[in-house]
Structure 1
């Protein structure tokens, strides 16, 4: 489940220059990611996001994890949302060459296991863009 979130986050960063989602809720039936943003998305942008996420998932890239020290992580990642109790060893998850981020969630071994990303809807209110989506499992 987190793998699709990683691909969506990297897609948003690449397309719009925004930060990764600051809040998310991931479930089997439907999920959402919230971004600090300055406007609503157009229909064309929604379609482009869905197409790009599915393009990456369809490449069947490996998803891997490795541990690094908190000190190493500070040089490469934002740690502002990381709880202190996370410890000194942190887990980095990579989705091929497309994304790399800190994450403690569950991940598939390869993006082919995610299935198809279906963007459900988006909304914009008070500087927050919410993207709702589902995964159509293989």
Structure 2
């Protein structure tokens, strides 16, 4: 689940030079990510996000993790979104060369396991862009 969020976040950073989502709720059937943003997305931008996320997910990119001491992780990553009780060791999840981020959530072994990213809708209100999406399980 979190792997799709990481790919979406990195896609947003690359397309719009914005920060990663500041709030999210992730479930296979219905998920959302909120971004500090200055406007609504155009239909073509939403389509491009959907296309780019699925291009990355379909590449069968290996998802790995490593553990760093908090002080070491803080030199390379923003740890502000982690719970205070996350401890002295921080798990860093890496989606190939595409993205790396501290995360306590569940991850797949490679991106093909995520399935298809389906962008449902977007909305913009008071400086917050919300992207709603779901994941279609991969066919076996």
Please report the TM-score for the alignment, with normalisation by the length of structure 1: 0.97
The structural deviation recorded for 1:73 is 1.0
The structural deviation recorded for 1:87 is 1.0
The structural deviation recorded for 1:83 is 2.7
Q: Write the distance in 2 (CA, Å) between the matches of 1:81 and 1:108.
A: 21
Partner residue, 2:118:
118
Matched-pair contact (CA < 8 Å) for 2:82–2:103: no
Spell out, residue by residue over 1:79-99, the C-alpha distance to the aligned partner (whole angstroms, 9 max, x if none): 222333211100000011000
Q: Write the distance in 1 (CA, Å) between the matches of 2:25 and 2:85.
A: 21
Partner residue, 2:24:
24
Partner residue, 1:78:
78
Q: Write the distance in 1 (CA, Å) between the matches of 2:79 and 2:68.
A: 13
Local SS of the residue matching 1:122: strand
Structure 1 residue runs without a partner (length 5+): none
Please report the TM-score for the alignment, with normalisation by the length of structure 2: 0.96
The structural deviation recorded for 1:28 is 1.9
State whether structure 2 residue 64 is matched by structure 1 residue 64.
yes
